[in-house]
Structure 1
Amino acid sequence: MKCRNCEQGDMQDVNENYHYRECGLDNVTIVGITIRKCPECGNVMPLIPNIEGLHESLAQSLIKKNGPLTPAEIVFLRKSLGWSGSDFAKNMHCDRSQVSKWEHGTVEMSKPYDLLLREMVASGKKITDYHSIELVWRRNIKPRPLRLQLQKKVWKEAA
């Protein structure tokens, strides 16, 4: 296969580690994947299998890390949820300017927001129905009766 960059060299497949900067994180290396390299111009084209699974694994690693999330990690996790900056602000119950400050590193994300983002990613819930979210936060809703029943030594909500 000819190089798409210089159209001179034949791409050669090699199996090696790849510094995956394209994900937006500077510290990610994919170990032992096929990389196509052009001997003429040096163009590199990684062949990344199951990229969705890779991004899910990255997200799971980030939410388990110790310490606060970095701006790049916040952006990565937001994108892993499929949210725009505005979607993120709405789901985090803050304004868009606050999200921008977190993502550009001008303000560190507070611990409660950090934990909320990690929980949203952990639960895998990509909330898209904003109407439902707003219903949850209404103040004048009467609590519904909860009935619990022990089933095989585990408490569950009864029908």
Structure 2
Amino acid sequence: TVVTQPVLALPPSKSVTTMAINHDLAMRKVLDAEEHLKQQQEELQKRILDEQNEPLTLQQQENMSIKGSNARHLIMQKLMRKIESKVVILRNMVGADEVDESLQEEIQDECSKFGLVERVIIYNEKQSDDDDLNDIIVKIFVEFSQGSEAEKARN
């Protein structure tokens, strides 16, 4: 008996051409998918970083999904940014017994050195149910017309 080894036959050249075309199609699909993903990430970045958008409703925030590390990174950057406020809170400036009619005007005059003062609110916060003046913390809220003016006053 004669035993023969199987012979490896090369596919006809037409099959090689078909394989090359299939490879090109697969590569094109991969590139298209990468481009689509890049476009999605850019759109997400624009939506997240767009300061003109109104705040999301609670329901929109609850239904929000975060896909991919880039999206998570962008959201974390937005959450970590410093929020600019137009309001400065003055605490421990005066005691409850020092609050009088002229205090509001004095504070407005002093704070106007830093910018346009919209309003001044003096709030007596009780720390207990007693009527003792020592249990009252005086908080003074000064609202400026712009956040940069409030920042100047803080510094």
- One fold, TM greater than 0.5? no
Name the TM-score, length of structure 2 as normaliser. Answer: 0.26
Judging by fraction of residues, say which structure has more helix: 2
Q: Which has the higher contact order (CA 8 A, sep 6+)?
A: 2
Name the TM-score, length of structure 1 as normaliser. Answer: 0.25
Which of structures 1 and 2 has the bigger CA Rg? Answer: 2
